Amino acid sequence: ARVEELEEELEAERAARAKVEKQRSDLARELEEISERLEEAGGATAAQIEMNKKREAEFQKLRRDLEEATLQHEATAATLRKKQSDSVAELGEQIDNLQRVKQKLEKEKSELRLELDDVISSMEQIVKSK
């Protein structure tokens, strides 16, 4: 009976050992599959990281180009505003000068008209006196 009992224990231990070995084998295979998927995902992640770096670099270049273009346009606009302001000032001076000349000419015209009126009046006096 003791031998039978020991044989049953031995058989139970062998069955338990076989079961544990099968579980260990299944877990090892599962671990290998997970490792492979992790490697694939890591490769994809590395490629994604590299692509993101390239996109970020391109984005930064576009941002710098935009900032440079903005500065250039602002400088051009400032130059054009200054030219326009200078032109307006120059035209204002020309208007002032022309108005002064016009006033001077109108004054001369009035003086000449008065002088002409005097001459006409004198001529009429001379004609009447003859």
pLDDT 10s digits, 17-63: 999 999 999 999 999 999 998 888 777 787 888 999 999 999 999 99
pLDDT of residue 44: 75
In a domain, 130, yes or no: no
In a domain, 117, yes or no: no
Token output for 70: 């903005």
pLDDT of residue 1: 84
Does pTM top 0.75 for this prediction? no
pLDDT of residue 45: 81
- Give the least confident one: 10-14, 22-26, 37-41, 80-84: 37-41
CA distance 56 to 123: 97
In a domain, 119, yes or no: no
State the residue range of the domain holding 60: 1-102
Please name the amino acid found at residue 79: T
The count of structural domains within the chain is 1
In a domain, 111, yes or no: no
| Three-class SS of the chain | CHHHHHHHHHHHHHHHHHHHHHHHHHHHHHHHHHHHHHHHHHHHHHHHHHHHHHHHHHHHHHHHHHHHHHHHHHHHHHHHHHHHHHHHHHHHHHHHHHHHHHHHHHHHHHHHHHHHHHHHHHHHHHHHHC
In a domain, 112, yes or no: no
pLDDT of residue 130: 75
